[in-house]
A and B are shown apart, each in its own frame.
Chain A
Amino acid sequence: MIRTTSLRFTYQNTKTNTFYFPDIDLSFEQNALILGPSGVGKTTLLHLMAGLLIPKKGNVFIGNTCVHQLTRNQLNNFRGKHIGIIFQRTYFIKSLTLLENLRIREKLSKKTTDPNRRRQLLEQLELTEVRNKKVHELSEGQRQRLSIALGVIHKPKVILADEPTSNLDDKNCEKVISLLKKEAQICKSNLVIITHDQRVKLHFNKHIIL
């Protein structure tokens, strides 16, 4: 469950106006798309929900937790445990292998690690074969899938995806969306995707337009 209340945000040192975000209220296992043209603050909203940015006003509730009332360290902990983020660009620890990247994600979430979960996830994302490769040796598609794995390995309450399909062709776009939906279902979490990709629209009922 994720809920936002009258979120407002202003970037410092810029002349852009304050962003006013519509309230979002997703019930258990409900997914949503956040749509809108560039520059309207889609990524900003996502980062506010992830606790990476602090709102000028308003708040974000995940489960029973009021995200922006947590202390800095509590927020770090909470984010590690309950939020999974899939970035538009794929970021990894370059010097580590695929598996090591996953393990460090698990370790930092401070949840008990489950080897079965890791194995199943790798299987579903077709990454088992390349799990011991360094990330720079992976193909673009494998990297995309790894970044999904990193977003969901720790069974977060909320999965936030930032333009996950923008660089993909139709076939891979379908694949990624269905994987995300499936993982959200397995993790019993809310999936929030921001996108301006028309292809994604058909897969979700709830659209939030900025």
Chain B
Amino acid sequence: MNTLLSILLLTLSILLATFVLQISKQLNHHLEKNSKPFDMVIGAKGSPLQLVLSAILHIDNPTGNISLDEALRISKNPMIKEAILVSYGDNYRGYRILGTSDEYVRKYGATLKEGKLNTKNFEAVFGAEVAKKLNLNIGSSFVSSHGLIQNEIEAHDEKPFVMTGILAPTGTVVDQLIITNLESIWKVHEHENEHIEYKKHKEEHKEITALLLNFRNPIGALQLSRSINKDSSLQAALPKFEIDRLLKFLGIGFQAINGIAMAILLVAGLSIFISLIKTVRERKHELALLRTYGATNFQLLKLVFLEALFLSLIGFVLGWFWGRVSILLFSNLASDTYKYHLEISSPNMQEFLILIIVIFMTILAVIFASYSLFKLNISKILADA
């Protein structure tokens, strides 16, 4: 019973520790990989973190729209190496439709797996994950709906899209997107503008959601961000900076869970120690008998240690296994909510370090328990008939 409890506690703590490590590691990796292609995002004023989350990671709502003219004006700045316009705000069955240029797909290193890239208006390529989930064939048409959440009411029925290609998986946000050109996004929303009197001026009033930039050198980025945030109605956000800030917030949560895992690990160590003492007490006859056979204290200690090590290793392996199973379960949940899935990876260095800690803890428990082992009064134990 006691033994079972020790294993259970150890399993639980290893589960928590490896789970948190994996999540934080993969999340870090995911955020870094996706924000890396761009040095700066320019969008409507609001929260810079929101701007990064929406324009780069595609998990939040946009802060608003910006005028195409202004975006084009900014992108002429000589310090800018490349500028990519993005426009979003529609979805198809919950997957975001992103209006942009071919550059965007290239920045994430996505290549075509099937079909062809979108060249004309109302043609779209699908990210690998979207294609897999929606199970659409090349050539089939679909109707986008307004907003970023799936709904049937605000469907743009009269302007169907055609799927022309599927991208190979990249492990980035591109996998979760439906990509078309900017024109299509504008055209889909044209009828909305029709009600408004600007119809004939619509060319001048075209809008996009954000501008993604890369700079020739980092100083350029700092200068431009300062001037934009100060002197214009737009806002500039640095993805790397915002992501670091976000991870810092999340870090506190991870640390808390890690702290809990460590506390449970400590309890598990204590429980191994108690179970060892109990083992020594319950098997004092056998241990005393082995002493009369010529076994040294060290040999008995080795025996007890091996037993404890066995428990620890079982606990560790079970904990690791269930940790990965939890990642799998969590991944299914996360991919529905955040359109992002976690990978099941093989053991890594940090987990190896945890194993070393567990073994060290076992050794410590055995050293403490050895006192009761050395204290055994063989004569008394064997004479008490």
Contact = CB atoms under 8 A, between A and B. Distances in A.
Nearest to A150: B293
A134 interface: no
Interface stretch (B197-205, B217-225, B265-273, B282-290): B282-290
Given A52-B379, A53-B379, A89-B385, A104 B285 contact: no
Nearest to A162: B383
A72 B290 CA distance: 15
A72 B295 CA distance: 11
Contacts of B295: 76, 80, 108
A91 B293 contact: no
A73 interface: yes
Contacts of A89: 385
B286 A47 contact: no
Interface string A64-101: 00000000110011011101010111011110000000
A47 B294 contact: no
B289 A91 contact: yes
Contacts of B332: none
Contacts of B294: 76-77, 79-81, 108-110
Contacts of A53: 379
A105 interface: yes
A10 interface: no
Interface string A51-65: 011000000000000
A135 B356 CA distance: 38
A50 interface: yes
A142 interface: no
A47 B296 contact: no
Contacts of A77: 294, 296
Interface in B349-382: 378-379, 382
B286 A94 contact: yes
Interface in A16-30: none
A76 B385 contact: no
A43 B383 contact: yes
A83 B294 CA distance: 9
B141 to A, nearest CB: 71
Interface string B1-24: 000000000000000000000000
Contacts of A44: 383
Interface residues of A, number: 28
A109 B293 contact: yes
A162 B379 CA distance: 12
Nearest to A46: B383
A66 B327 CA distance: 66
B285 A91 contact: yes
A18 to B, nearest CB: 17
Given A47-B379, A47-B383, A73 B289 contact: no
Contact of A52 (B293, B296, B299, B378): B378
A85 to B, nearest CB: 5
A85 B286 contact: no
Given A91-B285, A91-B286, A80 B293 contact: yes
A52 B286 contact: no
A87 B291 contact: no
A77 B286 CA distance: 18
Interface in A133-190: 162
Contact of B296 (A76, A81, A85, A105): A76
Interface string A98-119: 0000001100111000000000
B121 interface: no
B335 interface: no
A14 B179 CA distance: 90
B292 interface: yes
Nearest to B381: A91
Contacts of B378: 52
Nearest to B378: A52
B289 A76 contact: no
B156 to A, nearest CB: 74
A108 B271 CA distance: 31
A88 B379 CA distance: 13
B281 to A, nearest CB: 15
A81 B293 CA distance: 8
A56 B382 CA distance: 20
Contacts of A162: 383
Contacts of A80: 293-295
Nearest to A167: B385
A93 B286 contact: yes
A44, A77, A93, A162: residue with the most chain B Cβ atoms closer than 10 Å: A93
A72 B379 CA distance: 15
Given A53-B379, A87-B382, A88-B385, A93 B296 contact: no
28 contacts: A47-B379, A50-B292, A52-B378, A53-B379, A73-B296, A76-B291, A76-B295, A76-B296, A77-B296, A79-B292, A80-B293, A81-B294, A87-B382, A87-B385, A91-B285, A91-B289, A93-B286, A93-B289, A94-B286, A104-B290, A108-B290, A108-B293, A108-B294, A108-B295, A109-B293, A109-B294, A110-B294, A162-B383
4 A-B pairs closest in CB distance: A80-B294, A108-B293, A52-B379, A47-B379
Given A79-B292, A108-B290, A108-B299, 19 more contacts: A52-B292, A76-B291, A76-B296, A77-B296, A80-B294, A80-B295, A83-B292, A87-B382, A88-B385, A89-B385, A91-B286, A92-B286, A93-B289, A93-B290, A94-B286, A104-B290, A105-B293, A108-B295, A109-B294
